[in-house]
Chain A
């Protein structure tokens, strides 16, 4: 079995799954290249979690096929399980046990003898900054520590494919950065990561390719750059000191950015969408150039900002409807019983 796989880690064709009346997957196709981070981006209820659960062999699809490293997720589930691991949205370690016990338990279930399982558990705890918390019950961990022990448990055997279901939802910015660093290290060692997220900036930071998911289907796919340029990569906000300079500022911005400039109700404010014109420059370069033009023309800028397009903006642009949130897992649990 080759540890660094080439080719496709995941191939899914027309996956469908419904829970009662709720159609969670409505013909999902995916091609995930091995050795990369692949982002599934979408709001709650879009079908991301269901897709991950089908690919991780936890749910049987109603229709369609999926293969993980060439193994069918239904017919050859055990071969798939030997190569993947899952960090779910909810605790995927035993909260009553300590961090060390959890990792030893999994180590033994992966076939390590007790001393080896202990040694590996201790090294993982050290690498994840949890040595001090090794003998504490996981239910007493903070949110960030809990996420780290979850991920540590998932990489005990360095899986070929790691599913991370909304790994940073509910984390503070520092913990979120720690998770991102870990994900980068995991991928650098040849593990493929399928990441679900609601945040465009997270997908942008980590993923080589992104699939935008809505109503159980992939509605757009590409590199973060491709997706953003299809939407416009951001919004420039400018506030002037002197409202009298606004007409000139509008003219200069339109010339520099090549897009229509909106005059806000506030007499000193202007906004413009940038990066959507297929120009070679990215949004920040365009914005910097525009700002330089303003300053050279003697227009005094009090405040300036460049915002990333939000997931809502991407959604609006791709679907003409805003990202509607529904609680996917609850629907699923309801219907699964």
Chain B
């Protein structure tokens, strides 16, 4: 099991600890100052990037999954809900972008749960750094995935005929709003990632939350056709506010009321679930 160098092709050289070599690394040098909160978070973000570099398969969910979502729903509903898939796409693309990206926020919880299971968080938690840094850094890495997923969907949409009136700036503003919300929403999953037993249960819970949240909204159809009780839910659903803001930004307009609600929801997620997450993180 532990021949020191069996996996290299060369003749195995046995490691003999040399007191001299160990002395040089053990000599206590000057300790550097504790890193700032931002620097520590960015370092943890660097870890997330390295993980993407070593395990690129994990990008499957931010590339293939969004493409399938766009193609499937555009052609499934397009003819029935609008005059043609192309017309539907003008309405639907911002919504499916939100749906896809919000759905992949749950991998933050899954990833955290796996990290804890493997034991590497024990080391992070014994470091004298700003406490939330490990989690903030993890979410920084995830934000990159959100941006990637959004761009993939935008690309597919443009190919299929999506023509946003807001132009480049409008589209960027829309993606910006989406990323802000997703960053905030990720804290819900860090909390569940900490309290739930296995990555399977994190997936299970997140599906139970995400399906109603994304489908019972204005993503797929105009809520005007829904029964009153459902409209009441759709109206307060944060996804509805987010989709409305992203939609108007991409159309070159602005929707201050929905944008304000969406930002309030985002702040709420960070404050409430960020605090719950840190409470659990410190007391596990």
Given contacts A96-B54, A142-B1, A142-B6, contact A90 B118 (CB under 8 A): yes
In whole Å, how far is A82's beta carbon from the nearest beta carbon of chain B? 4
CB-CB < 8 A to B283: which residues of A? 60
Instruction: Tell me whether A96 and B55 are in contact (CB under 8 A).
Output: yes
Q: Is A229 an interface residue (CB 8 A)?
A: no
CB-CB < 8 A to A96: which residues of B? 50-51, 54-55
In whole Å, how far is B8's beta carbon from the nearest beta carbon of chain A? 6
Cβ-defined partner of A97 (8 Å) among B28, B33, B54, B122: B54
Instruction: Tell me whether A158 and B26 are in contact (CB under 8 A).
Output: yes
A56 to B122, CA, bound (A): 9
Instruction: Tell me whether A155 and B26 are in contact (CB under 8 A).
Output: yes
In whole Å, how far is A117's beta carbon from the nearest beta carbon of chain B? 9
CB-CB < 8 A to A140: which residues of B? 7
Q: Is B4 an interface residue (CB 8 A)?
A: yes
CB-CB < 8 A to B133: which residues of A? 109
Over the window 16-56 of chain B, the binary record of Cβ atoms lying under 8 Å from chain A Cβ atoms (1 yes, 0 no) is: 11110111111111011111000110011011001100110
Interface residues of A in 87-117 (CB under 8 A from B): 88-98, 101, 105-106, 108-113, 116
Cβ-defined partner of B17 (8 Å) among A60, A136, A178, A189: A178
Instruction: Tell me whether A143 and B2 are in contact (CB under 8 A).
Output: yes
Q: Is A10 an interface residue (CB 8 A)?
A: no
CB-CB < 8 A to B21: which residues of A? 126-127
A79 to B18, CA, bound (A): 32
Over the window 67-99 of chain A, the binary record of Cβ atoms lying under 8 Å from chain B Cβ atoms (1 yes, 0 no) is: 000000000001001101110111111111110
Instruction: Tell me whether A185 and B1 are in contact (CB under 8 A).
Output: no
Instruction: Tell me whether B123 and A88 are in contact (CB under 8 A).
Output: yes
A5 to B119, CA, bound (A): 30
A158 to B14, CA, bound (A): 25
User: Which of A168-176, A235-243, A288-296 participates in binding chain B?
Assistant: A168-176
Instruction: Tell me whether B18 and A127 are in contact (CB under 8 A).
Output: yes
CB-CB < 8 A to B24: which residues of A? 123, 127
Q: Is A181 an interface residue (CB 8 A)?
A: yes
Cβ-defined partner of A132 (8 Å) among B8, B27, B43, B123: B8
Interface range on chain B (Cβ under 8 Å from partner): 35 or more
Cβ-defined partner of A142 (8 Å) among B3, B47, B51, B54: B3
CB-CB < 8 A to B26: which residues of A? 155, 158, 185-186, 189, 191
Interface residues of B in 106-156 (CB under 8 A from A): 118-120, 122-129, 133
Given contacts A92-B122, A97-B50, A153-B123, contact A109 B17 (CB under 8 A): no
Instruction: Tell me whether B28 and A93 are in contact (CB under 8 A).
Output: no
CB-CB < 8 A to B17: which residues of A? 128-129, 178, 181-182, 185
Cβ-defined partner of A337 (8 Å) among B3, B129, B195: B195
A124 to B17, CA, bound (A): 12
CB-CB < 8 A to B125: which residues of A? 57-58
Q: Is A145 an interface residue (CB 8 A)?
A: yes
A41 to B126, CA, bound (A): 23
Instruction: Tell me whether B1 and A108 are in contact (CB under 8 A).
Output: no
CB-CB < 8 A to A148: which residues of B? 15
Instruction: Tell me whether A132 and B22 are in contact (CB under 8 A).
Output: no
In whole Å, how far is B4's beta carbon from the nearest beta carbon of chain A? 6
Q: Is A284 an interface residue (CB 8 A)?
A: no
Instruction: Tell me whether B46 and A105 are in contact (CB under 8 A).
Output: yes
Q: Is B197 an interface residue (CB 8 A)?
A: yes
Instruction: Tell me whether B2 and A88 are in contact (CB under 8 A).
Output: no
Q: Is A3 an interface residue (CB 8 A)?
A: yes
Instruction: Tell me whether B25 and A109 are in contact (CB under 8 A).
Output: no
In whole Å, how far is A209's beta carbon from the nearest beta carbon of chain B? 22
Show 19 residue pairs from A and B whose CB-CB distance is below 8 angstroms, ordered by the A residue. Answer: A84-B126, A92-B119, A93-B120, A109-B124, A109-B127, A120-B25, A127-B18, A128-B15, A129-B17, A132-B8, A137-B54, A142-B7, A147-B2, A175-B2, A175-B4, A185-B19, A185-B22, A189-B27, A336-B284
Q: A108-B43, A155-B26 are in contact. List 4 more A-B contacts (CB 8 A).
A: A108-B46, A144-B1, A158-B29, A174-B2
